[in-house]
Structure 1
């Protein structure tokens, strides 16, 4: 079972964990170990947090998933997250989830739908890429990854924990 954690609150950790049927580790700021999937916002400060949590290079690195802050995930400079990630996957926005009282039920069913709306189909495709990366990279057979830089430190203007 994969483990999903976020570098801040509100980055979609629970949503992704429910969709992947994974364990939700909550906020992982300040931990030396990184979960299999790490989430951050697709903003400059979110990518700076990801760069500070950079895993050690090598096989079995965690996947970094970017929580959509914009409708244009292609406009995000994923290289700002650093080179140690197995991959950086931009999650598309799903209209309505931000205002829904229970988006987690929708997320839990996103991979099982046969004919989902376009937004859910794009989200399911991104989750499929994450699952494939975890499987192909052998991530699910390894222990949690140690961060090369130790505990996370605050970025100017960002409060951790």
Structure 2
């Protein structure tokens, strides 16, 4: 756990998207919590990557805009319920769609069957994949998302699942 003087340094690392360094200082991945809310449904309907959109306004320091690998976790799972999934995580304003509101969206890798609306969830950020960027069109965005998801799969392959 960071000392008092280290906290500002850890917050700065998170603000810069340097989640691996923040995790080393914290002794665990940086976590953001929030309730899953309805988004624009582009991930499910247009892009092929359904995401859990966290209302993370009060749930912790959100890292710099970009794409990350990490974990999507139920913070209060029912007995025996599946509780954690490796994830590709997007933080930002969705500039390809002229977005202005900053969001935290997590795609549970290779899962399109999860119904998480209204559930309190957490996202653990373990690796930064790239910064946020605007794409020329949806096809270019989907191509980049496929590469991001593949990179997240590789990065998460050997990661130990966190405790809920």
Q: Is TM (by shorter chain) over 0.5?
A: no
Higher strand share: 2
- TM-score w.r.t. the length of structure 2 is 0.31
Higher relative contact order (CA 8 A, sep 6+): 1
- TM-score w.r.t. the length of structure 1 is 0.32
